[in-house]
Every structure is written in C-alpha cells, then in structure tokens.
C-alpha cells in the first residue's frame, strides 16, 4: 500500500449523474463506468504559459511589510504616504497599496458547515485568516530542551492561532508533516507537538566539541592560519553574515587537542575532529524549502516559525541562499526562535581540572552567536526576525502570530537596467519616527513560468534520485506535476473543482489493520467535457496521501482516470471514486487532489477520520445513501457509497451497517439492533424496531434497512444506532448527523 499504484488496471466507478436531454428534460441515471487507470501523469493538453521576454512589460513587484513600534507591537492604520520604497538606492513610486489588520473576530462561514464526517472544499474559510508553518528542528535539538519546545508549541497553538488559520506542522527529521485548519485541527497538532523529541546526540556530552569548532577546523585550520600582531592566530576573513573572532593562544585545532589532553573544558570523541555538520543543516533547509513550496501561490503574508538551536552560515550550503530567494518570491517570512533561551553556561563543560575561563567565555560566545548565524541571516533576509536571548519561547511565538496579522502590501514597477536573474536590493522605510519595518531585502525577476519550470525540475530530480537507489522499484515512478505536488503538501483547500470526501471503516485485515474505503466525489460541472453532448468524457489525475497521525506512516495513490460517460447529454452531478486502504487504528488524515488534465484546474480537500481498535463489539461506519445497485449474480441490492450526509427530503434513505466481534453461542445470533431518526429537538420521526440480526450465508452480521423521507421538514437530523450482544451484555451506540433539504415547511 505504501507504493504508488502505477500498473494499468481496470476498475468500476459508479456515477450518480443527472443528464439533460436535448428536449430539456432531466433524467437521473445510475451508470456503472469502466475506468482505465493509467500509470503516468502528463500535462494533458494544457499549454504551458509563455515566458515573457525582459525588459517587456513586467508585473508589479509586491512587497509585504510589517511595522512595529519600540515595544515590538504591530502598527496598523498607516497609509501609502507613510512608506518609502527604494531599489538599489533609487526611490520607487508605490503604485498599489493595501493594508491588512486580521486581528478582529473572524467572519461567520458563508456556507453552513456540512455534518461530520464529510470533508469538502466548498465551504469558504473566514476572510480574516493567516497561513503559518511550525517547523521544529528536532535533528539539531538537544533532548534536554525538548520540553521547552513542547511547551512553546502548546502555547502558540492555544493562544497564537485563530479560527480559519491554515497551518503546516513539521519536523526537520521528516517524522512529521501534518496540515490543519483551525479550530478543528488544533487537537491533532497538540497531540503531535506533545511527541516532539530532541535527536541531537551531542548535547550535554562531555566528549563533544561544538559544531562551530568542527566547522572552523575543517574549513580553515586544514588550510593553515596566520599569526596576527597580537601573537594570536588570526582566523580567515569571515563570510558575509558570519561573525569573526580570534582564538587566544593557538589555532582552533590545537585548542581542541589541548582540551582533549588537559580536560580543561571537555573531552572530544575519538577522533577529535567529527567533521562538518552540513547534513543537519541541510535537513533543516530542505524542510524550509518544502514548506515554502507548499505555500507558494497563497496570497498574503505567510509566516514560518522555525524553532531551532540555530545552524552555521556555511557558504558551502548554497541551497540556503536558494531557499531564501524562494521565500522572498513567495512572500514568506521566516521567524527563527532560538530555543536555547538565555545561555547561562556551557553545556559541554567538564568539571575535571581547573577551567580556562577565557576559553570558556570565547566558546560560549561562539556557541550563542556563531552557531546560529545561518538561521539569523535566513530570517533577516526574508523579512522575518531572529528571536534570541529569551526563555519565553512560547510568548515570543504568540507575538509572531499577532505581528503576522497586521501587514501592508506595497506594489511598484521594477525599473529597467538589470536582467531577470540579477539581484535587486530592496529597502522599505516608514517615515514616522520610532517605527521599524520588516520586509524582504531584495529579489530577482524570475517569471511565473521560470518558477514553475524550476519547481518541476526539482521534483523530477528528487524522483530520479529515489529511482536510482537500491531499494527503488524496477519501474521508476513519474513525478507529480508541480501544482499537484504543491497542493498535496499544503493545507489550502483549492476549490476550482468542488470535492467531497468521506471514509468508511469496515472489517479487520491481516497485520491488525482495518479495511477503509475513501469515497471521493467530484462535481462534474467544474470538469472539461472533451466529448460534447453526444458522448461526455474527461481526463483526470487523482492523488491521495493517507497519513497516520500516531505512527507517521503514509500510503499513497497516484492515478490517471479516463472517464467516458457513454451517453448523450450535458453532464451534471457528482462523480464518485472509491479507493481502499488497510489502516491501523488511530487518527488518520487523507489529503485528496483531483486535477482536470485538459483545463489544468484542480481541487484539494483534507478528510480527517478515526480508525477504531479492532477489539470487542464494533459497528462499521454506517452507509447512508439514497441509491442502491444490484449485482449481476442475483444477490440482493447493495448500497452505493456516497461522500455526503445531506439528502433530498423525498424517496427512501437506505442505511447499511455491519457488526463485528459478536459472540455466537451454539452458532446462533445473539445480536439485536434498533435504529431511530431524530429531529434537532430529539423527537423520533422514523423508527426501525429492535430486532435480531441473523448471520448471512458467509457468517456476517449485516443490517440493511430504509426510511421514507417524504413529509419530513428541511433541517438537521441524527440517525441513532444501538447494537446489543445479549450473550455478553456489550452495547454499542452510534450517532450519525445528517441534513435534509427541500422538504416540507418546519412545523
């Protein structure tokens, strides 16, 4: 299940569509469609956007700016005249200006929320919402500081987020990547935050040297050093953004060796030179890059909170500069929160022997300043802030959230004279005294087409590296298009194609998993019709990532779907697609992306559900549906899975459920079940009397019944199930919310 399903296969998809005949009469059809699942993703017939030639007409450059007062509080109410923008030292006219203050109460949802457990992208989020990334550098986090990070995360999640906010929560180790909407996603992220662990093995060890020492030894001491006029070896000139220092007495290599033998401060490992810390830095930068990729295209200011002990500003790590550039292009500000807080002592100090106080002081300065230079520069270059020297990490994170809700969008036309890849230095100032502006410091004029091409090249490169590994399958998997990969990783529910999704959990499978069917419905009104009225058809790409919250396991499905309706008419209604997964018990999140290969538009939705433990008396997810289908082998009708809990108040509503874990003394059933449909006030409007559930020929305990809906008023209802095993006395109850529309007037 963990591998993509690439083999060409044929499966049956049920379409519940309404077709309009040439005479205008509506005819409801239930059609069984044979759908061919292809192995590859292509761009279809979409024409790639043309790359504009520079210096032709260029779109406005948009810069988002945050303004704070002397106390660090965000400042609202400024106007265009309060700002000045310059590029390469030359003033620029501000062509567009927008001010945002999202601190007020969120607006009510414009579309009523559908009853759980249905997920949909049709609902519109509140207008006053923000996008955040919480990225924990657990690779570089000392285990002793994990509790501080967990407390800071819990405070930000409780106080720093508001209804409607979109969030990515991730760790640099790759153990966690979870998207959420507030407030419904807060509980899951709190559970993930509570399990954050530090993975750095060097913290508090008496046999460790600092990353800064290792970096300087490998990068500079190996090439020799000059002795300055003070008698101290002068370190080579620092790289841009890197602090400089002189080591008293000897070169750094000798300093570490002396410490090794004299045990003045700490005892390094064998050998005493552990090598460069680039892999840890690279994992963090790559995680930042993935978050930036996921949020590119989302309008407004996006804030990435990086909880880290910092990383070196290593010039060999060229990807850091590239990521900073992509942050600037996407208007994503990085806030680096130094989780070390107020460093009062050197964690690696050894009490054996008299300490060299001068060396201890220098090492502490290096540990606090030099080892964090990379994260500080990354924050400042993207218009964010490096927050250091405070033990109130949680409060600082909350203030970042408040600051990110008050910002200004300034637009201006880039002046001619430079090529699209040349660096342009940018400066935003505010004319009122006592105020500070945070904005990105520059940019390059890459076009949208160039950015898209670069994204797809990076995705293809990553797929090629995975395909060349020894563990890779014999047939390399083609990469997803960039827009689908971006939607799959991000929290935003794109609504160009309306979607609904719902999970049904059934019987136990080997490996202590349960068979789970994810039903996805696609609004055909948003799809291209490549066959016209005589034979409607379309071509779709489907991508699903099913993530288990508690284990981190991910199961994926990537498929091409060719839909051929096989009949005349202009298609309307919803196309239903079912996919099966074997999942362990726990909280699960399914990210679903559907892309129209001809139009290039896509829809995205996230379905959250719980897989129950396969123990004791248990009831499957009830199937509520207005439709059935009859197998060809003459068996009784079966329910059609739908991804909705909203139905017309007419005809029949079918209810199907199965009971597991029941005792069967003497091979006879001891199960009884009662079903009721209740209105909002609790009044029972339909009832199926309590009666026994007899086993089928294959020994299953299934109840299949129906309720007439005619005459019921429009509104919210609840279907209540009660199942009792008389042999053991166990009772299981379930309540399924649903809504009826178009019914009789309420009494």
How does DSSP assign 363-388, residue by residue?
A: HHHHHHTGGGHHHHHHHHHTT-EEE-
Give dist(CA 368, CA 347) in Å, integer: 12
Instruction: Specify the higher pLDDT residue, 610 or 259.
Output: 610
> Contact 352/263 with Cβ under 8 angstroms?
yes
Averaged pLDDT, 563-592: 87
pTM of the model: 0.79
Give dist(CA 131, CA 181) in Å, integer: 10
DSSP 421: T
Domain spanning 1-51+449-615 has what CATH number?
2.60.40.1940
Task: Provide the β-strand partners of residue 692.
Answer: 672
- Say whether 616-747 and 1-51+449-615 share the same fold: yes
Range with the lowest mean pLDDT among 24-28, 501-505, 585-589? 24-28
In percent, the amount of the chain with pLDDT more than 70 equals: 68
Residue spans per domain, the chain: 1-51+449-615, 60-103+405-446, 202-276+295-315+343-373, 616-747
Which two tokens mark 22? 């040439």
CATH of 616-747, one of 3.30.160.20, 1.10.10.60, 1.10.10.10, 2.60.40.3880: 2.60.40.3880
List pLDDT tens digits, range 631-688.
877 778 899 999 999 999 999 999 999 999 887 665 567 899 999 999 988 999 999 9
Averaged pLDDT, 395-404: 93
Range with the lowest mean pLDDT among 52-66, 86-100, 182-196, 426-440? 52-66
Q: What does the pLDDT read at residue 328?
A: 80
- The model's confidence at residue 451, banded by pLDDT at 50, 70 and 90, is low
Averaged pLDDT, 314-343: 79
H or E element that contains 425: strand 424-430
Measured on CA atoms in the order 600, 601, 606, 607, is the torsion positive or negative?
Answer: negative
> Which residue in 229, 125, 143, 139 sits closest to 181, CA to CA?
125
Which of 219-223, 422-426, 498-502, 536-540 is most confident?
498-502
List pLDDT tens digits, range 116-147.
789 999 875 555 578 999 999 998 898 999 99
List pLDDT tens digits, range 487-506.
999 999 999 999 999 999 99
Instruction: Specify the higher pLDDT residue, 269 or 190.
Output: 190
Give dist(CA 644, CA 741) in Å, integer: 13
CA 402-408-409 angle, 5° bins: 135
Give dist(CA 623, CA 643) in Å, integer: 10
How does DSSP assign 93-106, residue by residue?
A: ---EEEEEE--SPP
Sheet holding 90-92, edge to edge: 90-92, 83-87, 424-430, 442-443
3-state secondary structure of 504: strand
Neighbours of 256 (CB within 10 A): 22
Which two tokens mark 658? 């199965």
Q: What does the pLDDT read at residue 212?
A: 62
Instruction: Specify the higher pLDDT residue, 88 or 273.
Output: 88
Q: What does the pLDDT read at residue 601?
A: 94
In percent, the amount of the chain with pLDDT more than 90 equals: 46
3-state secondary structure of 181: strand
Range with the lowest mean pLDDT among 59-68, 354-363, 528-537? 354-363
Give dist(CA 467, CA 446) in Å, integer: 30
Q: What does the pLDDT read at residue 343?
A: 58
3-state secondary structure of 521: strand
- The model's confidence at residue 61, banded by pLDDT at 50, 70 and 90, is confident
Q: What does the pLDDT read at residue 374?
A: 77
Range with the lowest mean pLDDT among 39-48, 78-87, 513-522, 580-589? 39-48
Q: What does the pLDDT read at residue 532?
A: 81
Q: What does the pLDDT read at residue 319?
A: 58
- Rounded to the nearest 5 percent, the helix, strand and coil shares of the chain are 20, 35, 45
Which of 185-199, 203-217, 317-331 is most confident?
185-199
**Mean pLDDT taken over the chain:** 77
CA torsion angle 53 55 57 60 (round to 10): 110
Q: What does the pLDDT read at residue 371?
A: 65
Q: What does the pLDDT read at residue 314?
A: 66
Q: What does the pLDDT read at residue 91?
A: 95
> Contact 130/150 with Cβ under 8 angstroms?
no
Averaged pLDDT, 462-471: 45
- Would the pLDDT of 723 be above 60? yes
- The model's confidence at residue 60, banded by pLDDT at 50, 70 and 90, is confident
């Amino acid at each position: 299940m963990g591998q993509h399903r690439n083999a060409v296969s044929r499966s049956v998809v049920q379409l519940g569509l309404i077709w309009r005949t040439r005479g205008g009469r509506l005819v409801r059809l239930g059609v069984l469609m044979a759908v061919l699942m292809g192995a590859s993703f292509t761009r279809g017939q979409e024409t790639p956007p043309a790359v504009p030639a520079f210096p032709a007409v260029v779109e406005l450059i948009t810069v988002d700016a945050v303004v704070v007062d002397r106390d660090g509080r965000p400042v609202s109410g400024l106007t265009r005249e309060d700002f000045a923008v310059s590029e390469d030292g030359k003033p620029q006219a501000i062509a567009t200006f927008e001010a945002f203050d999202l601190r007020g109460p969120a607006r009510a949802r414009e579309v009523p929320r559908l009853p759980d457990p249905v997920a949909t992208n049709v609902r519109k989020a509140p207008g006053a919402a923000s996008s955040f990334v919480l990225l924990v550098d657990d690779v570089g986090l000392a285990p002793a500081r994990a509790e501080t990070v967990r407390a800071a995360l819990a405070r930000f999640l409780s106080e720093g987020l508001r209804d409607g906010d979109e969030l990515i929560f991730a760790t640099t180790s790759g153990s966690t990547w979870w998207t959420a909407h507030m407030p419904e996603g807060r509980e899951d992220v709190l559970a993930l935050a509570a399990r954050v662990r530090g993975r750095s093995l060097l913290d508090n060890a008496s046999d460790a040297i600092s990353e800064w020492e290792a970096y300087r030894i490998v990068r500079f001491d190996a090439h020799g050093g000059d002795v300055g006029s003070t008698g101290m070896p002068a370190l080579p000139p620092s790289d841009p953004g890197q602090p400089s220092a002189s080591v008293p007495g000897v070169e750094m290599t000798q300093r570490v060796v002396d410490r090794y033998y004299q045990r003045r401060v700490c005892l390094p490992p064998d050998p005493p030179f552990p090598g460069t810390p680039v892999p840890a830095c690279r994992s963090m930068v790559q995680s930042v890059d993935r978050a930036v990729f996921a949020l590119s295209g989302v309008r407004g200011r996006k804030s990435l909170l990086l909880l880290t002990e910092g990383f070196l500003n290593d010039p060999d790590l060229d990807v850091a500069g590239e990521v900073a550039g992509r942050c600037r292009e996407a208007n994503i500000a990085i806030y680096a929160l130094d989780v070390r807080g107020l460093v009062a002592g050197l964690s690696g100090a050894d009490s054996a022997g008299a300490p060299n106080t001068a060396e201890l002081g220098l090492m502490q300065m290096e540990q606090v300043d030099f080892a964090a230079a990379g994260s500080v520069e990354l924050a400042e270059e993207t218009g964010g802030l490096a927050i250091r020297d405070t033990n109130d990490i949680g409060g600082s994170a909350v203030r970042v959230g408040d600051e990110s809700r008050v910002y200004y969008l300034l637009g201006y036309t880039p002046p001619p004279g430079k090529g699209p890849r040349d660096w342009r230095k940018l400066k935003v100032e505010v004319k009122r005294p006592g105020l500070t502006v945070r904005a990105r410091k520059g940019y390059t004029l890459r076009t949208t087409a160039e950015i898209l091409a670069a994204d797809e090249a990076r995705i293809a490169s990553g797929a090629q590296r995975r395909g060349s590994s020894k563990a890779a399958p014999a047939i390399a998997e083609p990469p997803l298009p960039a827009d689908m990969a971006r939607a799959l990783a991000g929290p935003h529910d794109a609504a160009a194609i309306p979607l609904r999704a719902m999970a049904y959990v059934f019987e136990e499978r080997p490996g202590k998993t349960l068979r789970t069917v994810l039903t996805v419905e696609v609004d055909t009104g948003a799809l291209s019709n490549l066959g016209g009225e005589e034979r409607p058809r379309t071509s779709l790409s489907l991508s699903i990532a099913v993530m288990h919250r508690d284990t981190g396991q991910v199961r994926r499905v990537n498929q091409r779907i060719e839909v051929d309706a096989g009949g005349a008419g202009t298609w309307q209604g919803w196309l239903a697609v079912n996919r099966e997964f074997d999942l362990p018990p726990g909280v699960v999140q399914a990210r679903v992306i559907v892309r129209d290969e001809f139009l290039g538009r896509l829809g995205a939705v996230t379905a959250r559900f719980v897989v129950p433990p396969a123990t004791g008396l248990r009831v499957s997810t009830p199937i509520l549906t207005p439709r059935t289908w009859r197998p060809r082998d003459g068996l009784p009708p079966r329910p059609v899975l739908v991804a909705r809990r909203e139905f017309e108040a007419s005809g029949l509503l079918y209810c199907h459920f199965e009971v597991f874990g029941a005792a069967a003394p003497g091979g006879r059933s001891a199960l009884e079940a009662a079903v009721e449909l209740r209105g909002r006030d609790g009044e029972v409007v339909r009832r199926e009397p309590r009666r026994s559930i007899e086993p089928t020929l294959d020994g299953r305990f299934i109840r299949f019944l129906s309720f007439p809906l005619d005459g019921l008023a429009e509104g919210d209802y609840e279907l209540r199930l009660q199942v009792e095993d008389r042999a053991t006395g166990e009772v299981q109850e379930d309540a399924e919310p649903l809504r009826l529309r178009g019914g009789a007037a309420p009494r």
